[in-house]
Amino acid sequence: MQPFEGVRIIDLTHVLAGPFATYQLAVFGAEVIKIEMPHDPDQARLLGADKELATKKLNTYFLAQGSNKRSMTVDLKTEAGRDILRKLVKQADIMVENYRPGAMKALGLGYEDMAKINPRVIYASMSAFGQDGPRGTQTGYDPNIQAASGLMAATGTPETSPLRNGTSAIDYASGTMGSFALATALFQRERSGKGQYIDMAMLDVALVLMGTHISGYLRNGWHPKPIGNKVEVSTNCLYDASDGPIQLAASNLRQQKRLWKALGRSDMAKNTHDERRADYDREVATLAEIMKTRTAAEWEAFLQTNHVPATRIWKMSETLADEQLRTRAIIHKFIGAPGIDGPFGVPLAAFKLAHGGAAIRTPPPQFGEHNDEVLSEIGYSAAEIAGLRADKVIGERP
């Protein structure tokens, strides 16, 4: 049995953060019903690496977090559409949305409205800045939050900063924190019997990621600076090997001693972090010269054998081809799926369980694929479904 088996989630989220939160529960057994507007598909369906799949509303941004979900297209601006949602929520454990703060409440679909229908429901709102406060009505995406949190100002070098992270880090961190918030509320409901409202802001998540910088600033007014790959101890820096860069990460005192010993320079090893900082420039110059004497791959193999953290810069193709991934079962590969010709793969979850672990049961759904199926389950007849489709309350079959 998977951890969230039997949990039903109504997912009204779009793009990355919200869909990733529900996806994480879906791969651990939750039933997720994804609801989109019939004429306004989730933007993620159109974004990614495959232009042909974009025309089918199944592009790679969506594939990465669409598995194990069923898809409905319901116009929530109609009363009939709102009735569908109310009936779904009545039988649900969780509802998640990430529309502009106040939008769901204005439609009569806010937490108070849903709690009257189902007092046990856990209702989560994910937004850029939160549901209240002077910025509560503002919208924003990952890059806006990277800018507002100080993350961009602390990234890059003095010459290149501010610099955006190479992936949608805040989106995925918000999705991860979102799944934790939902699991926390579920656990509490098991004890209290009560549902509740979750107000989650991407800015808050970003500030948690900036924790050490925040503590430093609040203690002594120290602003985080963009230092690039040259950090405060030399054995944690990026260096040029003979054919490309090598990232050292001999962070603690034991590791730096092992590094210097392996390099035949035990005379450079230090007993305190203050000694390391004081001799920083000499250490950097020494390591820069030594690292040029071998290839990055040779250094990686040699130093790892000596229990020194060191890694060359891998390309995506190298990462995914590495034998280590065969032991982790983090990638699920599809031979094909409805609407998709040919193979593709998606990540699952970042941890393994001894039993009941992450698994893919169904492929990412086509736009509105499960309208008839889900509506039948909650009591709509075939004639009523046909009427909803004729009135454009639900979308056409894919």
Report whether 155 contacts 161 (CB < 8 A): yes
Q: CA 26 to CA 359: how far, in whole Å?
A: 9
Annotated active-site residue 113? The verdict is: no
Q: What is the pLDDT of residue 379?
A: 97
Q: What is the pLDDT of residue 254?
A: 96
Average pLDDT over residues 255-273: 97
For residue 210, is pLDDT > 90? yes
Class of domain 8-209+329-390: alpha beta
How far lies 333's CA from each of 300, 342, 346, in Å? Answer: 29, 11, 7
Q: CA 265 to CA 285: how far, in whole Å?
A: 13
For residue 376, is pLDDT > 90? yes
| Each residue's pLDDT tens digit, 4-49 | 999 999 999 999 999 999 999 999 999 999 999 999 999 999 999 9
Q: Where are the domains of the chain?
A: 8-209+329-390, 234-318
For residue 230, is pLDDT > 90? no
Average pLDDT over residues 59-63: 97
Q: What is the pLDDT of residue 375?
A: 98
Average pLDDT over residues 376-393: 98
| Each residue's pLDDT tens digit, 147-161 | 999 999 999 999 999
Q: CA 197 to CA 368: how far, in whole Å?
A: 28
Average pLDDT over residues 371-381: 98
pLDDT, the chain, mean:
96
Percent of the chain with pLDDT over 90: 96
Average pLDDT over residues 127-152: 94
Report whether 21 contacts 175 (CB < 8 A): yes
Average pLDDT over residues 119-139: 95
Count CB-CB contacts under 10 A for residue 35: 24
CATH assignment, 234-318:
3.30.1540.10
Q: In terms of residues, how long is the chain?
A: 398
Q: What is the pLDDT of residue 187?
A: 98
Report whether 302 contacts 254 (CB < 8 A): no
| Each residue's pLDDT tens digit, 297-349 | 999 999 999 999 999 999 999 999 999 998 998 999 999 999 999 999 999 99
> Cis omega before residue 309 (within 30°)?
no
| Each residue's pLDDT tens digit, 164-205 | 999 999 999 999 999 999 999 999 999 999 999 999 999 999
Average pLDDT over residues 274-292: 97
Beta bridge partners of residue 346, listed in sequence order: 332
| Each residue's pLDDT tens digit, 95-118 | 999 999 999 999 999 999 999 999
Catalytic entry in 171, 204, 322, 372: 171
Percent of the chain with pLDDT over 70: 100
| pTM for this model (two decimals) | 0.94
Residue 50: CB partners within 8 Å, gap ≥ 6? 59, 60
Average pLDDT over residues 129-136: 94
Residue 318: CB partners within 8 Å, gap ≥ 6? none
Average pLDDT over residues 251-275: 96
| Each residue's pLDDT tens digit, 284-297 | 999 999 999 999 99
